[in-house]
Amino acid sequence: MALNQPHISRALPSLVATPRTAESEPNSSSMARQHNGAYRRMSGPVAEAAPIDRIARLPEVLLITGLGRTTLLKMVGEGRFPAPLHLSPRVRGWRLSAVLAYIEAREKESRDAS
């Protein structure tokens, strides 16, 4: 059952956008080509990029270390675990390298003690 509806462009001519042509505005693919070309000129080989030292939030740090929340925060307060970075007024995180260095130090202490 086909409904005969009036053309919206006739009823509301001010609300219908005029079609854009290639000359009036660049499309997204041409803009992407321009951007990618500029990016290739600016960037060097991938091998020169420094490794990223990720920030780990509390749940991930707890999972990596195997410690409980209360124990970990108590150790931070006592200075036995690296202090978190203050990323914003309510967000804290640890550099993954600091957490891994803590684990390696504990492993070394464990080997030296035995």
Within-domain flag for 64:
yes
Within-domain flag for 6:
no
Domain count for the chain, please give it: 1
HSE-up of 85 (CA within 13 Å, CB side)? 14
- What is the predicted pLDDT for the residue at 34? 59
Within-domain flag for 11:
no
Within-domain flag for 34:
no
Alpha helices in the chain (DSSP H): 8-11, 28-42, 58-65, 69-78, 96-113
Within-domain flag for 8:
no
Within-domain flag for 71:
yes
Within-domain flag for 86:
yes
Within-domain flag for 100:
yes
Residue 99 lies in domain = 55-113
How do residues 4-53 score in pLDDT, each as one tens digit?
555 544 544 444 455 555 555 555 555 555 555 555 555 555 556 778 89
How do residues 72-108 score in pLDDT, each as one tens digit?
999 999 999 999 999 999 999 999 999 999 999 999 9
- What is the predicted pLDDT for the residue at 12? 44
